[in-house]
A = this chain, B = another copy of it.
Amino acid sequence: MGMHEYIEGLSNLETLNRAPGFFKYQEHTVAAHSFKVAEIAQLLGDIEEESGQTVNWQRLYEKALNHDYTERFIGDIKTPVKYATHELRRQLAEVESRMTQNFIENEIPEFLQERYMRRLSEGKDETLEGQILSVADKVDLLYESFGEIQKGNPQSVYLDIFRESLSTIIQFKSLKSVQYFLNEVLPDLLNEQFADRARLVAISDELLKRQ
């Protein structure tokens, strides 16, 4: 048992769409999302390091790259489902976690199991790298919803996602990298030309004032 099954399974993430049927202009696969989150985490890590923090780069890349691998087993159903209660969502997370364990025991050679146990478990912990992952995941979601808004999609659900993503990012505002994002990246995004610019600026201003 080598890692053939693991490598071959990567292509599943190339065909698995995030939130199937949700995005109207551009669909996003789990593989592409993982790539973008790793790129964004890399940038946030740069800022932290430039600000004097010590970044464990191995952990940061590892967390970002692998954080959605387990969607292979149960799909993207952790995504808020309107009719799922908190309890039902907890049950789904548990099912996913146990399928992941079955996968590791069946497909990963023993001498690598510990590494993959770490990589395929929840990465959003309290470490600096875990916090950067939480932020990077939401930055990509914010850009995904912005992609819809920018192209004129008038459904309010994208404004909701934008608001909710930005709101989560702001919770990490003690991080220098989040301050950089809010001060240097977000204004450029809001300066682009698009139909709903006024509403997006209003939402952003309101969230930023509340800090």
User: What residues of chain A have their CB less than 8 Å away from a CB belonging to chain B?
Assistant: 1-8, 10-17, 20-21, 24-26, 28-29, 31-32, 34-36, 38-40, 42-43, 46, 50, 57-58, 61-62, 65-66, 73-75, 77, 81, 83-85, 88, 91-92, 94-95, 98-100, 102-103, 106, 109, 111-112, 115, 139, 143, 147, 150-156, 180-181, 183-189, 193-195
Q: A3-B185, A61-B65, A84-B95 are in contact. List 9 more A-B contacts (CB 8 A).
A: A2-B180, A2-B183, A7-B40, A11-B143, A39-B66, A58-B58, A65-B65, A74-B77, A75-B75
Given contacts A11-B26, A38-B38, A57-B57, are A184 and B32 in contact (CB under 8 A)?
no
Residues from chain B with a CB closer than 8 A to the CB of A6 are 43
Tell me which of B2, B14, B81, B143 contacts A185 (CB under 8 A). Answer: B2
Chain A contact surface mostly:
helix
Contact A155 B194 (CB under 8 A): yes
Leading 6 A-B pairs by shortest Cβ distance:
A2-B184, A4-B188, A61-B61, A57-B58, A15-B21, A31-B32
- Identical chains in the assembly: 6
Tell me which of B28, B181, B188 contacts A5 (CB under 8 A). Answer: B188
Given contacts A61-B61, A91-B91, are A7 and B81 in contact (CB under 8 A)?
no
Contact B77 A81 (CB under 8 A): no
Contact A4 B189 (CB under 8 A): yes
